[in-house]
Chains A and B, each alone.
Chain A
Amino acid sequence: MGFDQYHEPPEELSAETRTFARLCASLTEEAEAIGWYEQRLAVEADAEARAIMSDAQGEEFKHFAMDLEFLLRRSPRWRQICEGVLFQNGDIVEHGEAAEAGSAEGASDDETGAADGSLAIGSLKGVQR
């Protein structure tokens, strides 16, 4: 089993940072899978096979969205920038630049815990007591 998601010695990383890194790796894998299915769908002529792969790609969309939402809940600045870019009409680059600039004076990074220094408790819906 590999530990490629860590670029620093894992024993020096907090549990929160290790979890964050795992989900970043998972997000990457889901994006790769989406791309692979897109390519397969582009060349597959069999309608039944295409239907199955299209369904599978839908699963990867869901996985990607769940991974992303988890990461955004743990990273307020990332979330803030995404809120300025995602689901907006207009120029994507302009939105990105504006969101990045706006975030600089908002949530900041901290060396412990979540990026905003909080306990990163967030929502507890669905969490067993």
Chain B
Amino acid sequence: MNHLLRHLAPISDAGWELLDEEARERLQGSLAARRLVDFGGPRGWAHSATNLGRVEEIDSPAADGVSAAQRQVLPLVELRAEFSVSLAELRDNDRGAFDADLEELDVAAQRIAVAENVAVFHGWAKAGIAGIAETSPVEARPLGESGEEYPRSVARAVEALRAVGIEGPYGLALGPDEYTRVIETAEHGGYPLLDHLAKILEGPIVWAPGVKGAVVLSLRGGDFLFESGQDLAIGYSHHDADAVHLYLEESFSFVVATPEAAAPLSP
């Protein structure tokens, strides 16, 4: 038993397996940041802050010859996306039905994945999180109007990183529209654009819902740290005669250690 209170839900083991598997499948396709940045943890629900290794001087208590400083930390944020599942659908699943309606869960999974991606790539000021794109000192150039312009833009971004000593391999986070354009495009001679970009990057090209435009970043490690407290989990809220009300939840922080290890590309 833990804070998720899953044991209180009127859901069978088969039902939990169905919900967890559906959530895992939906989330893994959308959690773009986790494909590209370092992942630390999970440290557990009780973990509240990331150590920044810095201090800020403060006034000491009234005693001569004593200086004081306070440790600086980044508090973890909690994300939660609520959803409901029909009890009738869960009972049908227990009977062997293979087409349970889990639309609300799918929507919640997409929402929380987008929120995580946006926090990592574009920041979240109220949570104290600075995003990869906004902290990069590299000026955001346009990715291009058409897919055929993408290789040149991405190659320039890679070159900008190499020029300041940021080694590869490199990854590319692409907003949904831009990603669709890439997979639909074949260049002159029929060479798939996706393959061309992969050759330039020597790394993955990731569908990143929530990202505006694109971001090229180094995958060498040590530049971008996502610290997980509670990794994504389904918890129980309450239930009534018709439905059980659940939520997807996680806690995390994100720190950019090397702003120059990424180059944003505007839509």
Q: Which of A110, A119, A125, A129 contacts B231 (CB 8 A)?
A: A119
Task: Given the known inter-chain contacts A108-B2, A129-B207, please indicate yes or no for A116 contacting B228, CB distance below 8 A.
Answer: no
Interface check A42, CB cutoff 8 A: no
A-B pairs with beta carbons under 8 A, tally? 95
Residues of B within 8 Å of A124, CB to CB, are 28, 31, 34-35, 39
Chain A residues 42-86 with CB under 8 Å of chain B are: 76-77, 79-80
Judged by a CB distance under 8 angstroms, whether A120 is at the interface is: yes
B206 interface neighbour in A119, A121, A129, Cβ under 8 Å:
A129
Most buried by B among A14, A79, A107, A118: A118
Is B45 located at the chain interface by the 8 A CB criterion? yes
Please report the total number of B residues contacting A with Cβ < 8 Å.
37
B92 lies within 8 A of chain A by Cβ? no
Chain B residue nearest to A83 in the complex (CB): B43
Residues in chain B near residue A14, CB distance under 8 A: 17
- Please determine whether B16 and A110 come into contact, CB atoms closer than 8 angstroms: no
Which among A112, A121, A125 is the interface contact of B219 at CB below 8 angstroms?
A125
Distance from B114 Cβ to chain A, minimum over Cβ atoms (Å): 15
Residues on B with beta carbons closer than 8 Å to the beta carbon of A117: 2, 4, 6, 233, 235
Residues of B within 8 A of A113 (CB): 16, 20, 233
A9 at the interface (CB under 8 A from B): no
Pick from A110, A119, A129: contact of B23, CB under 8 Å: A119
Chain B interface SS verdict (over half): mixed
Minimum CB–CB distance from A70 to chain B (whole Å) comes to 13
Residues in A whose Cβ lies below 8 Å from that of B27: 119, 121
CB-defined contacts of A116 to chain B, threshold 8 Å = 2, 42, 44-45, 230-231, 233
Give chain B residues whose Cβ lies under 8 Å from the Cβ of A122: 34, 39, 42, 228, 231
B206: chain A residues within 8 A (beta carbon):
129
Given contacts A118-B232, A118-B233, contact A80 B6 (CB under 8 A): no
Residues of B with C-beta under 8 A to A88: none
Shortest CB-to-CB span from A80 to chain B, Å, is: 6
Chain A residues whose CB sits within 8 angstroms of the CB of B235 once the complex forms: 117
Q: Is B59 an interface residue (CB 8 A)?
A: no
Residue B192, interface by CB 8 Å:
no
Docked-complex contact B6 and A120, CB < 8 angstroms = no
- Docked CA distance A40–B16 (Å): 50
Which residue on chain A has the smallest CB distance to residue B250? A118
Cα A124 to Cα B38 in complex, Å, equals 9
Tell me the residues in window 29-70 of chain B with beta carbons closer than 8 Å to chain A beta carbons. 29, 31, 34-39, 41-47
Contact flag A107-B28 (CB < 8 Å), given A117-B233, A122-B228, A124-B35: no
List, sorted by A's number, 27 A–B pairs whose CB atoms are closer than 8 Å. Answer: A76-B44, A106-B44, A107-B45, A107-B46, A110-B4, A112-B6, A112-B20, A116-B2, A116-B44, A116-B230, A116-B233, A118-B230, A118-B232, A118-B233, A119-B233, A120-B24, A121-B24, A121-B27, A121-B28, A121-B232, A124-B35, A124-B39, A125-B34, A125-B36, A125-B38, A125-B219, A129-B35
Q: A107-B46, A118-B233 are in contact. List 16 more A-B contacts (CB 8 A).
A: A77-B44, A108-B2, A110-B4, A112-B6, A116-B2, A117-B6, A118-B42, A121-B27, A121-B31, A121-B231, A122-B34, A122-B42, A122-B228, A122-B231, A123-B38, A125-B36
Give me the interface of B with A, judged by CB distance under 8 Å.
1-2, 4, 6, 13, 16-17, 20, 23-24, 27-29, 31, 34-39, 41-47, 206-207, 219, 228, 230-235
